[in-house]
Amino acid sequence: MFGTHRLRVALAFSLLVPGRIAAQVPADLKQAMSTRDVAVAKIDAATWDRLTTEDFTVVQANGTLLTKEQRLAQFKTDTATTPLPHQEETIKQYGSAFVRRFHAGDIWVLDIWVKDAKGWRVAVVQVTTAKK
């Protein structure tokens, strides 16, 4: 019984501890992240849609919560730009999900990636205005 308890504790702890380093990030996930970042900048709704879960939500820097449908509608009024370089980017694994955090321009972005039958897709994004 003691061995089973230790195993449960070890398993629970392993799910709480982030994956080691960015080098452990799967190549196909890195590619999906890069492709989606370009899709956001270029206002490529089809690619963005493909790399975004159906139950996606984003909290924008002004505090507005948007669903996938609402964010896609916003694309119609957005202007294409050049993707901003990411600074202070970290990608960590938590169980089967990956959390990415980076600073770009005047914002911090936190996104959560999951893999399903359609491949790697982002499920949640939080955007926060960066302090200067």
pLDDT at 19 over 70: no
Query: Which CATH number describes the domain made up of 2-129?
Result: 3.10.450.50
Instruction: State residue 4's pLDDT score.
Output: 41
pLDDT at 10 over 60: no
What is the tens place of the pLDDT at every residue in 68-113? Answer: 999 999 988 888 887 777 889 999 999 999 999 999 989 999 999 9
Strand ordering across the sheet containing 87-94: 65-67, 52-59, 119-129, 107-116, 97-104, 87-94
Higher per-residue pLDDT: 85 or 115? 115
Instruction: State residue 85's pLDDT score.
Output: 79
Higher per-residue pLDDT: 129 or 23? 129
Among residues 15, 34, 42, the alpha carbon closest in space to that of 111 is found at: 34
Domain boundaries, the chain: 2-129
